């Protein structure tokens, strides 16, 4: 799973966001503290912000996450309730194990 840190610059994560649409943001312990997406980068560019700004300034935090034992229905409910497109799947310590997206859930339906 591709991730970033709060102190990374937006410019530094753009190559990662060319591969995926969003990244979990991890603290120094490896726990998910936020999420940053392509839409966040686009919003910064449109508002005249600088790509030298830190991820922390533009990430969604706290991150909504789901535990590994969550059902598909629980993940879908969170996505719909909060109008989000991806959720980090975490272990009991908050470390990322993967990412589940709307398309993972809704394409098969």
List of domains in the chain: 10-106 (3.10.580.10)
Angle at which helix 10-17 crosses helix 38-46, to 10 degrees, equals 130
Is residue 15 exposed (0-12), middle (13-18) or buried (19+ Cβ within 10 Å)? exposed
pTM of the full structure: 0.89
The Cα 50–Cα 75 span in angstroms is 33
pLDDT of residue 96 exceeding 90, the answer is yes
pLDDT tens across 48-87, in order?
A: 999 999 999 999 999 999 999 999 999 999 999 999 989 9
pLDDT (0 to 100) of residue 108: 72
pLDDT of residue 109 exceeding 80, the answer is no
């Amino acid at each position: 799973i591709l991730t970033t840190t709060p102190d990374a610059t937006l410019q530094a994560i753009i190559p990662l966001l060319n591969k995926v649409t969003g990244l979990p943001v991890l603290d120094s312990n490896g726990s998910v503290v936020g999420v940053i997406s392509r839409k966040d980068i686009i919003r910064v560019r449109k508002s005249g912000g600088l790509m030298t700004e830190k991820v922390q300034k533009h990430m969604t935090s706290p991150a909504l996450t789901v535990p590994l034992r969550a059902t598909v229905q629980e993940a879908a409910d969170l996505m719909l309730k909060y109008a989000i497109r991806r959720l980090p799947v975490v272990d009991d310590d908050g470390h990322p194990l993967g990412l589940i997206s709307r398309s993972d859930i809704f394409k098969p339906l």
